[in-house]
Structure formats: structure tokens, C-alpha cells
Structure 1
Amino acid sequence: MRTSPKLAAFGLVGTLVYLGLAILGSGGPRAFFSHPALWIIALSLLVMTGVALFSEGNLSPGKREDRDNRWVLAAFGILGLLLAFLPAYTDRLHIWTFGGADVRWLGVVLFIGGGILRLWPVFVLGQRFSGLVAIQPGHRLVTTGIYGTLRNPSYLGLLINCVGWSLAFRSGVGLLLTALMLVPLIARIHAEEALLHKEFGKQYDTYRAYTWRLVPWIY
């Protein structure tokens, strides 16, 4: 295990709570695991959490942090809990649901693909990846690989992952919650970019000029 103990504990507990809420919303383990696609979703979530333990991610404020942006963590937490429970609950009651098994399996593909895109940059950044908006000691810009195109690939992965989760439950409510997540997500992106601009100045401006913020050719 390489990730910080605090972040590891947070990730493990968060995953179990997230999965537990989904099972509760579905009406219990038997109902949840009656869908093969949800078996894969649950297994993938556990595997991703296990893989994340080998990253160097942390919750360190580093040498400089934008503490004013910490409200975003609470917003993510609330939306995350709702996203864990409501799609499964509405799926069970057939409220704002659509499609069938094909939609569920599309959700599985997006959930796994988004999860990979979410985790990949965490390993690329190593100790520079923090759950807080912060500059770490020895921080330097990464401008190659996936960061040569996107400035925030992990956040794009998060959105794709949430869309996949929603589709696995055929949930219109889940898609709405994912859309609402854009509000704190964009606020966090702006805070991070402002902090990076203060730290790296023209170097960051040059990098920003030839890369996309979140979605290629769109934003």
C-alpha cells in the first residue's frame, strides 16, 4: 500500500458505504445481484479501490492550499451519497428509468472506462495528487502523455464513471445528479488552475493555450 493511510481509509470506507447504499436502494443483496451487469459494477468498484491503494495520492495541503475551495468536498460527498442510493432505488421502483439490459451493459463499459481514466492520472502525478486543491513540495507541471491534451483527465474520468453508474441502473435521476456534479467540479477546476497559475505563471499559461480543460474540442 503506497497511498496515505488517511486517504486509504477514506477510500475503503467510502467504497463500502457507496456499494452498501446501492444494495439498500435495490432492495437488498438478492435484488442487486440478480442483474449480471451489477455484479460486474460491484466487482469493478472494489478492484478500482484496491488499485488506488497502490497510488501515491494523499490529502496533504502541501506547501500552499486554496482552503476556500473545501466546500467542494462536501458537495461531492452529498452528491456521491445520493448517486449511490437513488439510481438503484428508482431502478427498483421503475421511476425515471429507460432501456433494458443493453443500457445496463453500456453503463458497465462506461463505468470501467471512466474509472480507468479517473485512476490513470493519479498514478502519473504520484505524490502531487491531493484530494485538496494544493501545491505540493517539489511540484512541477506534467505536460506530456494524456496531459498533453487534457488538463483535467481525472475529472473527465469521474464524469464518465458516474454516467456509467447511472446507466447501469437505467436511471434518469442518476444522469441528473451527474449533471449537477458539474457545478462543484468546474468550481474546483477553476480553483486549481488559479493556484497553478500563481505557482508557474507564464509556463502554465503556455501549457493552457494548447490543451483542453475537460472535454476535447468542447471545453
Structure 2
Amino acid sequence: MLIRLFLQTSVWLAGMTALLFVPAGTIAWPEAWSFLGIIGGVGAAAGLWFARHDPDLLRARLSSPFQTGQPAWDKAILSLFFALYLASFVVIGLDAVRWRATVMPAWAEAVGAVCILASYAIIWRVLAENSFAAPVVRIQEERGQRIVMTGPYGVVRHPMYGGAILFLLGTPLLLGSSYGFVFVPLLVILLAVRSVFEERVLAERFPEYAAYAEKVRYRLVPFVW
């Protein structure tokens, strides 16, 4: 499994590197190297930690985002999400470096880095709390899936999506692109739509989910929605 973790992390970083530097037309982009260092370093550290403490979760997280038994609507949402997400890096590279259309102040880039790190901290805490947090919407009968209501799940019903929003906001800030923010509301809307459909699946399978949803009122962001 560690070999698979290494290979998938390497391929993902190589792809992200190409998506950033090819549109930029140069590798002289310190903000992009900082971004890659953060996602590569934190991703590797998290993978090694879960390999030791929850290998079943890591195995699930390393699985394909498109699986047998996965609802068609989930495949459609994920396909659109990934397409927009990857396209955003092309636009960011063009905007921040090749066109130099945006001049982002250093303090804003620093805020972006903090948002990304905070996002990883939230997601790490979520995964540590919920061993069933797979990348696809599917009831894991084989693992005895249950509804997790503790930790971050006592604050919002989809804390991983909430953490992802911080990542989406922090990325164009750190990379110095105002054009990158065009994609953020679209991606957040897709996360919100997915959360609604996901809850329908959970409510059908777990009778206790309705009481949980009544107790924890907010889906993604406390006191907002």
C-alpha cells in the first residue's frame, strides 16, 4: 500500500506541476513551488500516518473516485468538479505569470497559505474521526459503516467539504490569481449539491441520520448553511 501511496502521490504532483508551469511558461514561480511543497509534504505525511493508524481508510482513500455501485449522479458531480478544478490551475498559471493580469500582495498570498494549511488540518481531523470517509458516495457494508456524530461532525454534517472550501479559497490567493476565484463558487456549489444528495443516501440507509441532522443543523459552514 505504501508503494501505491508513493506512486499516486508522485503522479498527482507531476500532473499538478504540469498544469501550473506549462500555462505559466516558466518554472520561476515561487508561489507555485510553495503550493506544491505544501500539498506534497502534507499529503505524504498524512498518508504515512494513516498507513499506520487506519490502513483501511487509506486504502479507501487511494481507491478510484469512480467505482461500481456508485450512484450515477455522484460520478457526474465528481467529473464536473475535477474538470473545473483542473481547469482552474491552467487559468491561474496564465493569469498570475504569463499574462501578469493580477498583482497579489504578499500578505494575501500568506493568507492563502494559512487557509490551505488550515484546510489540511480540518480534513486530517475529519479522517481521524471518520474511518468511513471514502472518496465516493457508497454505503460500505463490508466495513460495517455507521454514522459518525463526534468531533468535527458535531459542528457540521460535512466537515470535510467545509475544510475543502478553505483550500479552494486559499489556492488562488497563494498562487496570486484573482481569475482563479471565478471557479470557487462553482466548485462550492458542486460540493453543496453533492452533500444534499449524499444525505439522502445516508438517511435511507441509517434511520438515526434524521435525528443527527436535526441536532447538527449546518451542513458545511457553521451558522451559514
Q: TM-score range by the shorter chain?
A: 0.7 to 0.9
Q: Give the aligned partner of residue 175 of structure 2.
A: 169
SS in structure 1 opposite 2:134?
A: coil
Counterpart of 2:38 (choices 41, 44, 65) is: 44
2-side partners of 1:119 and 1:19: how far apart? 23
Match of 1:132 in 2: 136
* SS of equivalent to 1:75: helix
Partner of 2:29: 32
Which residue of 192, 195, 203 maps to 2:201?
A: 195
CA-CA distance at 1:72 after TM superposition: 1.4
Q: CA RMSD in A?
A: 2.5
Corresponding residue number in structure 1 for 2:81: 76
Amino acid at match of 2:77: V
> Contact 2:84–2:183 (CA<8 Å) still a contact in 1?
yes
Identity level (%): 23
Does residue 67 of the first structure (1) align with residue 61 of the second (2)?
no
Q: Which moved more, 1:65-74 or 1:163-172?
A: 65-74
Report the Cα distance in structure 1 between the residues aligned to 2:73 and 2:35, rounded to whole angstroms: 35
1:133-152 deviation per Cα after TM superposition (whole angstroms, max 9, x unaligned): 11112011111111111111
- The answer to which of 192-201 and 112-121 deviates more is 112-121
The 3 A distance-change label for structure 1 pair 19 and 121 is farther
Instruction: Report the Cα offset of residue 88 of structure 1.
Output: 2.4
One-letter code aligned to 2:139:
I
- Name the SS for the 1:206 alignment partner: helix
1:51 CA displacement:
2.9
Report how many aligned residue pairs link the two structures. 210
* Unaligned segments of structure 1, at least 5 residues: none
C-alpha displacement of 1:87? 1.3
Q: Tell me which amino acid in the other structure corresponds to 1:28.
A: T
Contact 2:129-2:151 within 8 A present in 1 as well:
no
Aligned to 2:54: none
Equivalent position to 1:17, from 5, 15, 18 = 15
